[in-house]
Amino acid sequence: MPEDSSTQKAVREEHIRDAVIRLAGNSQDGIQSIGGFLARLAGRSAQEVMTYMTIPATISGGPSIFQVRMGTGEVLSAGDEADFLLAFYQHSYENHIGFLKEGGVLLYDSDHVEPDENDNRFVKVGVPISALTVEALGGSSREKGKNLFALGLLARIFKLDVAKLREIFKERFGSKAEDVLRNVNLAFDAGFSYPIDNVLDRYYNFQQEGEYEGPQQVTMDGNTALTLGLIAGGVRHGAGYPITPWSTIMEMLRQQLPKYNGVFVQAEDELAAAAMAIGFSYAGHLAVTGSSGPGISLKMESLGWATMAEIPLVVVNIQRGGPSTGLPTNVEQSDLLQAIYGSHGDCPRVVIAAQNVEDCFYSAREACEIARKYSVPVFVLSDMSLASRIEAFDEPDLEALMIEPTLDTEDRSADFKPYDLERITRHAPPGAWIEGGVFPQVTGLEHDESGHPSANPQMHAKMMRKRREKIQKLADELPASQIYGDEEGEVLVVGWGSTWGPIRETVIRERDRGRRVGHLQIRHLNPLPNDLGEIFARFEKILVVEMNDEGLYGQGQLATLLRARYCNPAIQSLCKTDGLTFKIKEIMRGVEAVSPSHAPSK
């Protein structure tokens, strides 16, 4: 209980640039809701924010965390260690106290947690969260209110904008029964009014650097951003089947596409979903299908057909741990080779990997443009980390970026050949008028320029070259690769996908230590940019950081591709398969391992 006011300590205010807050409890406690509210508040306050979460893979739930890093400076990763740990249960405390930095604050529910009183590394603050929530709400609502009580405590400790939080509550719960929003505010107010300054001798205030004058910011998770990117790119049709962590994209498309005179079908299985999406695209409507690794495996035969028939299609893979059903709620980047080589035969297609939540939007939109222009399936690779991570970023200029698709029913002449060897394939959707009435065929068999099945050896070689060369043409049109940090030097750290933030923060720290280090994040993975060989030649070592296994020969999947392409022994791997995102210190150790630093001479 709080101390008597006569013995109350003086409370000081600390100005901070950012804070890492880890919330640990059970998934049933609304841990994700607290983190989501904090992340959205940060976005509306023009603060940088990045989140990280783990959820149990079982329907019955279990231990869960939500980590929020928010601040007024640039936030590139969710943080290696926490400044603040909120533990709801004894297992929450025991499993996560090692993540709290020395001198950090442990806030715990004293109804369920007994910390080690001999451990003096942290500031320990016990609050009877469960009992006080019952006192504030009573009835059956108490079980769903302690997360809001805890949020009230955090709002007071970090001097958060309560008015904006209440706006977020209203948006989230306003459509529900009136008593729901009332109980939300009651629980929050009870936490906010708790005299925390009787047991904690400090408040935290995020240091502002003048009035924010940049573009309006939006706050969302990666799956939402990717879905909006598909819509902005002109996708109005698609089909899928539910699987974690792809399902939220499917559900959002199912709700949103009818508003754009489109449709999204939940198919009976993954095979049917792929076939339906291809059917939409065959009919002239660029379509999307998606899944996670196990579902993509089932789609592969149909995707091979789409490559042979040169059907424009967007395929989304939200990667998770594998193989088989693997780790459904953990992160991994082990589907790269599947995306590039998964189908039988030589099956060239395009693969793009989003590097952060903002880039999920732009990668999806770019995939739509490439699929249309080159009449080819395009993979967009994301992962569990990006799917659930919440970030704030500048609102896209939708007026400039929005594509309104039109059905190409232009008349075709009698000599129309969709697979003309002299140009990129252009199909005639059913219903297009063709002089003479002879409609071209579309088939998974090898074919001639009109689409008629052909086993002619010379024609097969020509069509193979045609399908290959349009991917090579795309490589010629890719923008120059951008290097952050040193343009030449000791180590170039290379990554793809969601490793972008931890790598960038690592390079910043290494350069602050005086090392000549650069960072290159590869977004276009098939085809690769043409300038990589010249860039690699400027560095003594190239460290490829990726969340997959090092394989039989000591190299991760991207590193294997790069070593095969450039025959450069300087390319080395840093891999991990623990289902967790990279920490800064892990990458720093990797940099040190490939290029030991030397103390400057006196």
Contacts of 8 (CB under 8 A, 6+ apart): 197, 198
pLDDT at 548 over 70: yes
pLDDT at 133 over 60: yes
Q: What pLDDT sits at residue 213?
A: 63
pLDDT at 52 over 70: yes
Cα 450 to Cα 377, 438, 442, distances in angstroms: 20, 10, 9
181-218 pLDDT tens trace? 999 999 999 999 999 888 887 788 886 655 556 678 89
Task: State how beta strands 350-353 and 524-526 pair.
Answer: antiparallel
Least confident of 17-21, 55-59, 148-152: 55-59
Three-class secondary structure of residue 255 per DSSP: helix
pLDDT at 464 over 70: yes
Q: What pLDDT sits at residue 144?
A: 72
Contacts of 2 (CB under 8 A, 6+ apart): 194, 195, 198, 199
Q: What pLDDT sits at residue 97?
A: 96
Distance between CA 560 and CA 81 in Å, rounded? 32
pLDDT interval class at 328 (50, 70, 90): very high
Q: What pLDDT sits at residue 600?
A: 45
User: How does the average pLDDT of the chain come out, rounded?
Assistant: 91
The mean pLDDT value for 452-462 works out to: 96
* Domains (range + CATH), the chain: 5-206 (3.40.920.10), 219-401 (3.40.50.970), 408-477 (no CATH), 483-594 (3.40.50.920)
Using left for φ > 0, alpha for ψ between -120 and 50, and beta otherwise, residue 413 falls in: beta
Cβ–Cβ < 8 Å for 127, 109? yes
Task: State how beta strands 217-221 and 390-394 pair.
Answer: antiparallel
The mean pLDDT value for 252-257 works out to: 98
Three-class secondary structure of residue 571 per DSSP: strand
55-85 pLDDT tens trace? 776 665 688 899 999 887 778 888 899 999 9
Distance between CA 53 and CA 71 in Å, rounded? 18
Distance between CA 166 and CA 186 in Å, rounded? 11
User: Bridge-partner residues for 485, per DSSP?
Assistant: 518
Distance between CA 563 and CA 559 in Å, rounded? 6
Residue 50: name the closest of 391, 394, 357 by CA: 391
pLDDT interval class at 553 (50, 70, 90): very high
Token pair, residue 201, equals 């001798």
pLDDT interval class at 498 (50, 70, 90): very high
Q: What pLDDT sits at residue 15?
A: 84
**Cβ atoms < 10 Å from Cβ of 209:** 8
3-state per-residue secondary structure call for 186-211: HHHHHHHHCCHHHCCCEEEEECCCCC
The pairs formed by 162-171 with CB atoms below 8 angstroms and a separation of 24 or more are 162/192, 164/41, 164/44, 164/45, 165/37, 165/41, 168/37, 168/40, 168/41, 168/44, 169/37
What does DSSP assign to residue 447?
Answer: B
